Amino acid sequence: MPLPKPIKNLKIAILVPSYKRPEYTKACLESIRTAQEYPKDVEVFTPIHNSLRSVIIDFFDKTQDCDFICKVDNDCLVPKNWLNDILEVFDKYPVDILSPNVSPSNAAFTHGEYVEGLPYRPAKIIGGLWFMRRPLIDGLKFSNYEVTGILGAIAILRQIYSIKSPEMGWLPSVTFEDMGHWSGKHPDHIKTKEHSDYSHEVGREVSWAV
């Protein structure tokens, strides 16, 4: 699928859902702000939410004129020049959805399949961080129903995959730092009862104890 317009003229929207854990959100937004010089056609959405699914659906509705849309979790740090590096892959390869690698889990190497000659690793499963061509979801309807934590967000990606059969994969050359990873292994992870309670609430249990 060719790009709809030259890279420099693309319109891109970035979603950073925020629910509790303001320490992580502040660090995440600062990393996005300083990672590179962004063109004027990049917009960052930072809604405070109770239902992640409803936030993503609302984000879809608000970005119909965009070329690319991206979801970055509020406990992640983006690397330098991440946006340019991801767009370069979209510019050269017919891929529809890319998920960056994540530290400390190195998910790109766990879930993606190595294919010689490709900079990304094709997969049928990607993570909660994604970058996709916005026209991919044209014509799709997403029901806004109540669901706990990340399950509703996962169901959205599964619906896109089942209906549109997009080419998607993991991009090992772009690694996000997952400060709030459930393992607690990231050096900037905050181990408090408040953060433990948060993980339980959203359905992603931690492997550490306060």
Q: What is the pLDDT along the chain (210 residues), one digit of tens a residue?
A: 444 444 557 899 999 998 888 899 999 999 999 988 776 688 889 887 668 888 899 999 999 999 999 999 999 999 999 999 999 999 999 999 999 999 999 999 999 999 999 999 999 988 889 999 999 999 999 887 665 567 778 889 999 999 999 999 999 999 999 998 878 888 888 888 887 887 777 777 777 766
Q: What does the pLDDT read at residue 4? A: 45
Q: Which residues pair with 171 in a beta bridge?
A: 100
Give residues with Cβ within 8 angstroms of 61, minimum separation 6. Answer: none
- Alpha carbon distance 170, 85 (integer Å): 13
| Domains along the sequence of the chain with CATH | 7-201 (3.90.550.10)
Cα 149 to its chain centre, rounded Å, is 15
Write down the pLDDT at residue 63.
95
Q: Which residues contact 120 (CB under 8 A, 6 or more apart)?
A: 89, 93, 95, 98, 112, 169, 170, 171, 172
Which pLDDT score is estimated for 9? 75
Task: List Cβ neighbours of 201 (8 Å cut-off, separation of 6 or more).
Answer: 149
Confidence (pTM) = 0.88
pLDDT at 5: 47
Distances (CA, A) of 169 to 80, 126, 129: 21, 7, 12
Asked whether 124 and 57 are in contact (CB, 8 A), the reply is: no
State residue 52's pLDDT score.
84
Residue 192's CB is within 10 A of a number of other CB atoms, namely: 11
List of E strands, 106-147 = 121-122, 130-133
Question: If we measure between CA atoms, which residue out of 169, 185, 188, 153 comes closest to residue 77?
Answer: 188
List, in order, residues 6 or more apart from 14 with CB less than 8 Å away.
32, 42, 43, 44, 45, 69, 70, 71, 72
Three-point CA angle 121, 127, 128, nearest 5° = 150
Question: Is residue 179 within 8 Å of residue 187, measured between CB atoms?
Answer: no
Contacts of 158 (CB under 8 A, 6+ apart): none
